[in-house]
A = this chain, B = another copy of it.
Amino acid sequence: MLYIVRMREVDLRRIDLNLLVALEALLDEKNVTRAAHRLGMSQPAASRALGRLRAVFSDALLVDGPGGYVLSSRAEEVRPMLRRILAGVGELLEANSFDPATATGRIRLLMPDLQAAVLAPHLLARFAREAPSLDLDIVAPGMNGIEALEHGVADAMVALIDEAPAGIHRRRLYDEELVTLMRAHHPALAGKLTLDRFLALEHIVVSVTGVGPAPVDEVLARMGRTRRVKLRVPNFFAAVEIAARSDLIMTLPSGLARAAANMRRFVSLPPPLDLGSFTMSLAWHARQQDAPRHIWLRRAIVTAAMDMSSAIDVGR
Protein backbone atom coordinates (compact mmCIF):
# COMPACT_ATOMS: atom_id res chain seq x y z
CA MET A 1 0.00 0.00 0.00
CA LEU A 2 1.26 3.49 -0.80
CA TYR A 3 2.05 5.99 1.92
CA ILE A 4 2.28 9.59 0.93
CA VAL A 5 4.70 10.70 3.61
CA ARG A 6 8.17 10.97 2.14
CA MET A 7 11.42 11.17 4.04
CA ARG A 8 12.50 14.43 2.52
CA GLU A 9 9.36 16.24 3.52
CA VAL A 10 9.47 14.98 7.08
CA ASP A 11 13.03 16.20 7.47
CA LEU A 12 12.54 19.57 5.90
CA ARG A 13 9.52 20.42 7.99
CA ARG A 14 11.74 20.25 11.04
CA ILE A 15 14.69 22.09 9.56
CA ASP A 16 14.95 25.85 9.59
CA LEU A 17 15.85 26.43 5.97
CA ASN A 18 16.55 30.07 6.68
CA LEU A 19 19.71 28.83 8.32
CA LEU A 20 21.09 28.06 4.86
CA VAL A 21 21.41 31.73 4.08
CA ALA A 22 23.37 32.22 7.28
CA LEU A 23 25.51 29.20 6.45
CA GLU A 24 26.57 30.68 3.15
CA ALA A 25 27.66 33.91 4.78
CA LEU A 26 29.51 32.08 7.56
CA LEU A 27 31.38 29.83 5.12
CA ASP A 28 32.21 32.74 2.84
CA GLU A 29 33.46 34.97 5.62
CA LYS A 30 34.97 32.34 7.96
CA ASN A 31 34.29 34.89 10.67
CA VAL A 32 31.16 35.12 12.76
CA THR A 33 31.34 38.87 13.28
CA ARG A 34 31.72 39.71 9.61
CA ALA A 35 29.06 37.19 8.63
CA ALA A 36 26.72 38.79 11.15
CA HIS A 37 27.28 42.18 9.62
CA ARG A 38 26.66 40.83 6.16
CA LEU A 39 23.46 39.20 7.34
CA GLY A 40 22.30 42.34 9.09
CA MET A 41 22.18 40.78 12.53
CA SER A 42 24.19 40.92 15.73
CA GLN A 43 27.27 38.81 16.30
CA PRO A 44 25.63 36.75 19.08
CA ALA A 45 22.72 35.94 16.78
CA ALA A 46 25.13 34.81 14.09
CA SER A 47 27.01 32.79 16.64
CA ARG A 48 23.85 31.02 17.66
CA ALA A 49 22.91 30.43 14.06
CA LEU A 50 26.28 28.71 13.67
CA GLY A 51 25.47 26.68 16.76
CA ARG A 52 22.19 25.56 15.24
CA LEU A 53 23.83 24.74 11.96
CA ARG A 54 26.38 22.65 13.79
CA ALA A 55 23.54 20.68 15.32
CA VAL A 56 21.72 20.22 12.02
CA PHE A 57 24.83 19.01 10.26
CA SER A 58 26.32 17.20 13.28
CA ASP A 59 29.55 18.86 12.27
CA ALA A 60 31.59 21.82 13.46
CA LEU A 61 31.58 23.35 9.97
CA LEU A 62 34.02 26.06 11.07
CA VAL A 63 37.01 25.01 13.12
CA ASP A 64 39.91 26.88 14.68
CA GLY A 65 42.85 27.22 12.37
CA PRO A 66 45.75 29.56 11.72
CA GLY A 67 44.44 33.09 11.56
CA GLY A 68 40.94 32.17 12.74
CA TYR A 69 38.25 29.81 11.51
CA VAL A 70 38.76 27.40 8.62
CA LEU A 71 36.16 25.20 6.91
CA SER A 72 35.72 21.62 8.08
CA SER A 73 35.82 18.84 5.47
CA ARG A 74 32.07 18.60 5.62
CA ALA A 75 31.77 22.34 5.07
CA GLU A 76 34.09 22.13 2.07
CA GLU A 77 31.91 19.34 0.69
CA VAL A 78 28.66 21.18 1.32
CA ARG A 79 29.64 24.59 0.08
CA PRO A 80 29.21 24.15 -3.69
CA MET A 81 25.89 22.36 -3.17
CA LEU A 82 24.75 25.19 -0.92
CA ARG A 83 25.68 27.75 -3.56
CA ARG A 84 23.68 25.92 -6.20
CA ILE A 85 20.65 25.58 -3.98
CA LEU A 86 20.57 29.23 -2.99
CA ALA A 87 21.13 30.26 -6.61
CA GLY A 88 18.15 28.07 -7.49
CA VAL A 89 16.04 29.72 -4.81
CA GLY A 90 17.02 33.10 -6.15
CA GLU A 91 15.86 32.14 -9.60
CA LEU A 92 12.66 30.69 -8.18
CA LEU A 93 11.85 33.95 -6.48
CA GLU A 94 13.07 36.14 -9.26
CA ALA A 95 10.75 38.85 -10.33
CA ASN A 96 8.46 37.40 -12.91
CA SER A 97 9.03 39.66 -15.89
CA PHE A 98 7.93 39.68 -19.50
CA ASP A 99 9.57 41.70 -22.24
CA PRO A 100 7.31 41.87 -25.31
CA ALA A 101 10.13 43.21 -27.46
CA THR A 102 12.02 39.93 -27.21
CA ALA A 103 9.18 37.50 -26.43
CA THR A 104 8.51 34.63 -28.81
CA GLY A 105 5.71 32.13 -29.08
CA ARG A 106 2.13 32.17 -30.12
CA ILE A 107 -0.97 33.78 -28.62
CA ARG A 108 -4.25 32.08 -29.35
CA LEU A 109 -7.20 34.46 -29.22
CA LEU A 110 -10.82 33.52 -29.71
CA MET A 111 -12.97 36.14 -31.47
CA PRO A 112 -16.06 36.11 -33.70
CA ASP A 113 -15.73 36.97 -37.38
CA LEU A 114 -16.99 40.46 -37.58
CA GLN A 115 -15.32 41.64 -34.44
CA ALA A 116 -12.06 40.16 -35.71
CA ALA A 117 -12.50 42.03 -39.00
CA VAL A 118 -12.49 45.36 -37.25
CA LEU A 119 -10.35 44.78 -34.17
CA ALA A 120 -7.62 42.54 -35.57
CA PRO A 121 -5.89 45.16 -37.70
CA HIS A 122 -5.43 47.34 -34.63
CA LEU A 123 -4.22 44.43 -32.54
CA LEU A 124 -1.82 43.26 -35.24
CA ALA A 125 -0.45 46.76 -35.53
CA ARG A 126 0.23 46.78 -31.79
CA PHE A 127 1.87 43.36 -31.97
CA ALA A 128 4.08 44.51 -34.84
CA ARG A 129 5.13 47.57 -32.87
CA GLU A 130 5.62 46.09 -29.42
CA ALA A 131 6.03 42.32 -29.80
CA PRO A 132 7.41 41.65 -33.25
CA SER A 133 8.35 38.03 -32.55
CA LEU A 134 5.10 37.09 -30.86
CA ASP A 135 2.64 35.41 -33.18
CA LEU A 136 -1.12 35.83 -33.02
CA ASP A 137 -3.64 33.18 -33.92
CA ILE A 138 -7.23 34.45 -34.12
CA VAL A 139 -9.84 31.72 -34.14
CA ALA A 140 -13.63 31.78 -34.12
CA PRO A 141 -14.74 30.59 -30.69
CA GLY A 142 -17.38 28.12 -31.73
CA MET A 143 -19.49 26.63 -28.96
CA ASN A 144 -16.71 25.93 -26.50
CA GLY A 145 -14.91 29.21 -25.94
CA ILE A 146 -15.09 28.99 -22.17
CA GLU A 147 -13.86 25.41 -22.18
CA ALA A 148 -10.99 26.40 -24.42
CA LEU A 149 -9.98 28.96 -21.79
CA GLU A 150 -10.38 26.46 -18.97
CA HIS A 151 -8.26 23.86 -20.74
CA GLY A 152 -5.60 26.37 -21.66
CA VAL A 153 -6.23 25.78 -25.38
CA ALA A 154 -6.76 29.52 -25.85
CA ASP A 155 -5.18 32.46 -24.06
CA ALA A 156 -8.16 34.80 -24.15
CA MET A 157 -11.49 35.36 -25.83
CA VAL A 158 -13.32 38.41 -27.14
CA ALA A 159 -17.03 37.70 -27.22
CA LEU A 160 -20.49 38.54 -25.99
CA ILE A 161 -20.33 37.18 -22.49
CA ASP A 162 -23.38 37.45 -20.29
CA GLU A 163 -21.87 35.85 -17.22
CA ALA A 164 -18.40 34.57 -16.62
CA PRO A 165 -18.41 31.18 -14.89
CA ALA A 166 -16.22 30.41 -11.88
CA GLY A 167 -12.55 30.74 -12.70
CA ILE A 168 -13.11 33.00 -15.69
CA HIS A 169 -12.39 36.73 -15.47
CA ARG A 170 -14.10 39.25 -17.70
CA ARG A 171 -13.61 42.85 -18.73
CA ARG A 172 -15.85 44.99 -20.92
CA LEU A 173 -14.23 46.14 -24.17
CA TYR A 174 -16.84 48.05 -26.21
CA ASP A 175 -20.54 48.21 -27.04
CA GLU A 176 -21.78 47.13 -30.40
CA GLU A 177 -24.91 47.54 -32.49
CA LEU A 178 -25.76 46.21 -35.92
CA VAL A 179 -26.59 48.66 -38.68
CA THR A 180 -27.62 48.19 -42.27
CA LEU A 181 -25.46 49.59 -44.99
CA MET A 182 -26.27 50.19 -48.66
CA ARG A 183 -24.73 52.20 -51.49
CA ALA A 184 -25.46 55.90 -51.51
CA HIS A 185 -27.97 55.91 -54.37
CA HIS A 186 -29.61 52.61 -53.67
CA PRO A 187 -33.28 52.44 -54.96
CA ALA A 188 -34.43 51.31 -51.52
CA LEU A 189 -33.52 54.76 -50.14
CA ALA A 190 -36.51 56.23 -52.01
CA GLY A 191 -38.77 55.01 -49.21
CA LYS A 192 -38.76 53.86 -45.62
CA LEU A 193 -36.87 50.59 -45.06
CA THR A 194 -39.54 48.27 -43.73
CA LEU A 195 -38.85 44.68 -42.66
CA ASP A 196 -40.60 43.35 -45.74
CA ARG A 197 -38.60 45.57 -48.03
CA PHE A 198 -35.43 44.60 -46.11
CA LEU A 199 -36.20 40.91 -46.61
CA ALA A 200 -36.99 41.46 -50.28
CA LEU A 201 -33.51 42.83 -50.87
CA GLU A 202 -30.44 40.75 -51.48
CA HIS A 203 -27.81 40.60 -48.75
CA ILE A 204 -24.05 40.20 -48.41
CA VAL A 205 -22.72 38.46 -45.32
CA VAL A 206 -19.12 39.03 -44.26
CA SER A 207 -17.72 35.90 -42.66
CA VAL A 208 -14.00 35.58 -42.12
CA THR A 209 -14.08 31.91 -41.21
CA GLY A 210 -17.31 30.93 -42.92
CA VAL A 211 -18.37 29.35 -39.64
CA GLY A 212 -21.70 29.89 -37.94
CA PRO A 213 -24.84 31.89 -38.74
CA ALA A 214 -24.85 35.68 -38.82
CA PRO A 215 -26.62 37.35 -35.88
CA VAL A 216 -29.28 38.77 -38.22
CA ASP A 217 -30.27 35.32 -39.41
CA GLU A 218 -30.49 34.08 -35.84
CA VAL A 219 -32.96 36.84 -34.93
CA LEU A 220 -34.94 36.31 -38.13
CA ALA A 221 -35.08 32.57 -37.49
CA ARG A 222 -36.66 33.26 -34.09
CA MET A 223 -39.31 35.36 -35.92
CA GLY A 224 -39.89 32.61 -38.48
CA ARG A 225 -38.52 34.87 -41.25
CA THR A 226 -35.58 34.56 -43.61
CA ARG A 227 -33.63 36.89 -45.82
CA ARG A 228 -31.89 36.23 -49.14
CA VAL A 229 -28.15 35.92 -48.55
CA LYS A 230 -26.99 36.47 -52.09
CA LEU A 231 -23.32 36.41 -51.23
CA ARG A 232 -21.07 35.37 -48.39
CA VAL A 233 -17.52 36.71 -48.50
CA PRO A 234 -14.63 36.36 -46.07
CA ASN A 235 -13.19 39.76 -46.80
CA PHE A 236 -14.79 43.01 -45.62
CA PHE A 237 -13.20 45.11 -48.33
CA ALA A 238 -14.41 42.79 -51.05
CA ALA A 239 -17.90 43.15 -49.57
CA VAL A 240 -17.58 46.93 -49.65
CA GLU A 241 -16.56 46.97 -53.31
CA ILE A 242 -19.38 44.66 -54.33
CA ALA A 243 -22.02 46.53 -52.35
CA ALA A 244 -20.84 49.87 -53.76
CA ARG A 245 -21.47 48.62 -57.26
CA SER A 246 -24.69 46.65 -56.71
CA ASP A 247 -28.01 46.66 -54.91
CA LEU A 248 -26.73 44.19 -52.30
CA ILE A 249 -26.99 45.41 -48.73
CA MET A 250 -25.01 44.52 -45.60
CA THR A 251 -25.89 44.41 -41.92
CA LEU A 252 -22.75 44.79 -39.85
CA PRO A 253 -21.44 45.84 -36.47
CA SER A 254 -21.71 49.60 -36.17
CA GLY A 255 -17.97 50.01 -35.85
CA LEU A 256 -17.37 48.20 -39.07
CA ALA A 257 -20.31 49.87 -40.81
CA ARG A 258 -19.02 53.29 -39.77
CA ALA A 259 -15.66 52.54 -41.34
CA ALA A 260 -17.39 51.80 -44.62
CA ALA A 261 -19.74 54.78 -44.33
CA ASN A 262 -16.71 57.05 -44.09
CA MET A 263 -15.97 56.17 -47.65
CA ARG A 264 -19.01 58.34 -48.65
CA ARG A 265 -20.23 55.65 -50.98
CA PHE A 266 -22.63 54.24 -48.38
CA VAL A 267 -25.63 55.16 -46.31
CA SER A 268 -26.02 53.67 -42.87
CA LEU A 269 -29.53 52.88 -41.61
CA PRO A 270 -30.95 51.27 -38.50
CA PRO A 271 -32.11 47.75 -39.31
CA PRO A 272 -35.95 47.39 -39.58
CA LEU A 273 -35.94 44.87 -36.74
CA ASP A 274 -34.66 44.96 -33.19
CA LEU A 275 -31.30 43.31 -33.26
CA GLY A 276 -30.51 44.67 -29.84
CA SER A 277 -27.18 45.99 -28.63
CA PHE A 278 -24.43 44.02 -27.04
CA THR A 279 -21.23 44.43 -25.12
CA MET A 280 -18.08 42.80 -26.34
CA SER A 281 -15.97 41.61 -23.47
CA LEU A 282 -12.56 40.10 -22.98
CA ALA A 283 -12.47 36.84 -21.04
CA TRP A 284 -9.57 34.87 -19.65
CA HIS A 285 -8.86 32.16 -17.08
CA ALA A 286 -8.09 33.17 -13.51
CA ARG A 287 -4.98 31.01 -13.69
CA GLN A 288 -3.40 33.63 -15.93
CA GLN A 289 -4.53 36.67 -13.98
CA ASP A 290 -1.09 37.64 -12.64
CA ALA A 291 1.12 36.24 -15.42
CA PRO A 292 3.05 39.19 -16.91
CA ARG A 293 2.75 37.83 -20.44
CA HIS A 294 -0.98 37.69 -20.06
CA ILE A 295 -1.20 41.10 -18.39
CA TRP A 296 0.56 42.53 -21.42
CA LEU A 297 -1.79 40.69 -23.77
CA ARG A 298 -4.89 41.97 -21.99
CA ARG A 299 -3.56 45.50 -22.08
CA ALA A 300 -2.78 45.12 -25.78
CA ILE A 301 -6.31 43.95 -26.54
CA VAL A 302 -7.95 46.68 -24.45
CA THR A 303 -5.78 49.29 -26.10
CA ALA A 304 -6.49 47.91 -29.57
CA ALA A 305 -10.19 48.19 -28.86
CA MET A 306 -9.71 51.81 -27.85
CA ASP A 307 -7.56 52.42 -30.95
CA MET A 308 -10.37 50.97 -32.99
CA SER A 309 -12.95 53.29 -31.46
CA SER A 310 -10.83 56.43 -31.71
CA ALA A 311 -9.70 55.67 -35.26
CA ILE A 312 -13.34 55.46 -36.35
CA ASP A 313 -14.38 58.52 -34.35
CA VAL A 314 -11.62 60.69 -35.71
CA GLY A 315 -12.55 59.77 -39.23
CA ARG A 316 -16.22 60.73 -38.82
Contacts and interface: CB of A to CB of B under 8 A. Distances in A.
A21 interface: yes
Contact of A291 (B17, B73, B82, B94): B73
Contacts of A137: 2
Interface residues of A, number: 74
A144 interface: no
A166 interface: yes
Contacts of A290: 58-60, 72, 74
A6 interface: yes
Interface in A86-115: 86-99, 101, 103-106
A3 B85 contact: no
Nearest to A82: B92
A166 B11 contact: no
Given A63-B289, A106-B3, A289-B60, A89 B13 contact: no
A6 B90 contact: yes
A93 B167 contact: no
Contacts of A40: 13
A143 interface: no
Interface in A173-189: none
Interface centre among A39, A81, A287 (most CB of B within 10 A): A287
B289 A58 contact: no
Interface string A1-33: 111111111111101111011001100000000
A291 B106 contact: no
B294 A73 contact: yes
Nearest to A286: B63
A4 B97 contact: yes
Contacts of A224: none
B167 A6 contact: no
Contacts of A8: 86-87, 89-90, 105
Nearest to A84: B88
A70 interface: yes
A228 interface: no
A20 B81 CA distance: 18
A307 interface: no
Contact of A106 (B7, B12, B38, B66): B7
Tell which of A10, A11, A58 has the most Cβ of chain B within 10 Å: A11
A64 interface: yes
For the complex of A and B, 5 pairs with smallest distance between CB atoms: A7-B105, A8-B90, A17-B17, A63-B286, A85-B88
Interface of A: 1-13, 15-18, 20-21, 24-25, 38-40, 56-60, 63-66, 70-74, 78, 81-82, 84-99, 101, 103-106, 135, 137, 150, 166-167, 286-291, 294
10 contacts: A3-B135, A4-B94, A9-B21, A12-B90, A15-B93, A17-B18, A63-B289, A64-B167, A74-B291, A85-B89
